[in-house]
Structure 1
């Protein structure tokens, strides 16, 4: 399989740059409540480090792969051919989201927390992220760092490395990020139920992101067009898998993130209501069991 087959110029990115900028501002702005709450309280209790790690890996994958396509001048997938202003805005958006999740991750590691298994998570989560960078991200750019044995400009050598990098990410790492986006719900949900208070988890941030990420998912699905007519008569499942591997993983992941944030948002509401009910019941209970 050649790189051209994997990244052939069959995807069209629309030129509505104003909408791009609006979505970019809304996307970045949705992180502000969580970042501010962590920085203001200087405590990360209530924010699951595993939940943040899973979302950080997804953000890193989006930025790294888009950068990989840009650096290697591979147009037609997430990057247009030729590159457009919209591609630049997309890359800036990916970079900003990565920075914000990284900021939340570093803050969660740096600030103290009274959550259970805190020490174990501090040892495991940063290690997992470093290993992910070494085995998934660094190989994307290895052909730039390691010269060909035949000298610079060895197209077969460079094409072979690029092809394998694309195949590994499309076939394995993209599905992994989608699973992690959904799985991030579990550790944060468990942490919410194990605490009486939400701690440093931003209630407002979850609500805003649950809405903004849905808009992002729809926006990405619309601005990355796919030539469905070229695959008429082929099994629908195969076509959907091909769409997902080439462009669909990004809107899918934003949709999964939106579902997770909304689920956590409503979970906090129910937790607060039931928690208040339990507290009032304890206050009304007669002293000494009367």
Structure 2
């Protein structure tokens, strides 16, 4: 099912890309819509990559150590959506309107976000997994700070601000269906027990992705209903 969802996620953004390529313009697309969707996809990919980087015997309830095929498929799911967001963003930069000031602004904002998302995870991967003189000498302290800031502060805000809709009714419907399945199936991708876990702890560790996808489905379904009337 993970492989099917990965392929379906890629296909669900086809109508959006096809619409841009057909009209060769992004005049009716809000720049900050694309930016916020890309930021949301980047946030999910950064957190998924972080989970792979910090995998050790103490985190086997989230991810196996070493990660197995299923764990890498989870990260590929995030990577696929991130790639789709980058593609739409690149098309906006390439096609009209020629709003140079706006395009420079959104690119600058995204580069700044990369500095607190993907780049810290890359740096984290260079740190030793476990030091001899305490967590301050390895990646454990850095990892705890990263996951705390992102899951408690950044991810909830980004989830609310982004995911404002696709560019065609067919894309809205297709994305709503695909990401509904992804949201429902997400908790079962991990080895964490689903009962007896505080909601806040569940959300901070693995639940953020399911909640994000569920909110995305809700917004897409409402927009599809409005667009279809």
Give the TM-score normalised by the residue count of structure 2.
Answer: 0.84
Work out the CA distance in 2 between the residues paired with 1:229 and 1:266. Answer: 35
Q: Secondary structure at the match of 1:46?
A: coil
TM superposition shift of 1:88? 1.5
Flag the 1:124–1:165 CA change in 2: closer, same or farther, 3 A.
same
State the match for 1:34 in structure 2. Answer: 16
- Does 2:134 correspond to 1:168? no
Structure 1 residues without counterparts, runs of 5 or longer: 1-18, 189-200, 232-238, 271-290
Please give the residue correspondences for 1:245-260 in structure 2 after superposition, counting only pairs within 5 Å.
245-260=204-219
| Aligned with residue 89 of structure 2, among 95, 105, 108 | 105
Describe the superposition over 1:139-161 as per-residue Cα deviations: whole angstroms up to 9, x where unpaired.
233344579xxxx8765322222
- Does 2:3 correspond to 1:44? no
| Aligned with residue 227 of structure 1, among 190, 193, 213 | 193
Describe the superposition over 1:193-213 as per-residue Cα deviations: whole angstroms up to 9, x where unpaired.
xxxxxxxx3221112112211
**1:181, 1:253 within 8 Å by CA — same for their partners in 2?**
no
Work out the CA distance in 2 between the residues paired with 1:229 and 1:143. Answer: 31
TM superposition shift of 1:119? 5.2
Work out the CA distance in 2 between the residues paired with 1:77 and 1:54. Answer: 31
TM superposition shift of 1:250? 0.4
Describe the superposition over 1:185-244 as per-residue Cα deviations: whole angstroms up to 9, x where unpaired.
6xx8xxxxxxxxxxxx3221112112211111111133346435445xxxxxxx212111
State the match for 1:214 in structure 2. Answer: 180
| Aligned with residue 181 of structure 1, among 139, 162, 179 | 162
TM superposition shift of 1:113? 3.1
Q: Secondary structure at the match of 1:218?
A: helix
State the match for 2:73 in structure 1. Answer: 89
Work out the CA distance in 2 between the residues paired with 1:144 and 1:251. Answer: 25
Flag the 1:221–1:229 CA change in 2: closer, same or farther, 3 A.
closer
Work out the CA distance in 2 between the residues paired with 1:53 and 1:97. Answer: 14
User: Which structure: larger Rg?
Assistant: 1
Work out the CA distance in 1 between the residues paired with 2:4 and 2:150. Answer: 29
**2:12, 2:171 within 8 Å by CA — same for their partners in 1?**
yes
State the match for 1:139 in structure 2. Answer: 120
- Cα RMSD between the aligned structures? 2.6
**1:174, 1:245 within 8 Å by CA — same for their partners in 2?**
no
Describe the superposition over 1:10-37 as per-residue Cα deviations: whole angstroms up to 9, x where unpaired.
xxxxxxxxx1111111111101111122
| Paired residues, number | 223
Flag the 1:133–1:40 CA change in 2: closer, same or farther, 3 A.
same
Structure 2 residues without counterparts, runs of 5 or longer: none
Work out the CA distance in 2 between the residues paired with 1:30 and 1:209. Answer: 5
Please give the residue correspondences for 1:229-244 in structure 2 after superposition, counting only pairs within 5 Å.
229-231=195-197, 239-244=198-203
Give the TM-score normalised by the residue count of structure 1.
Answer: 0.68
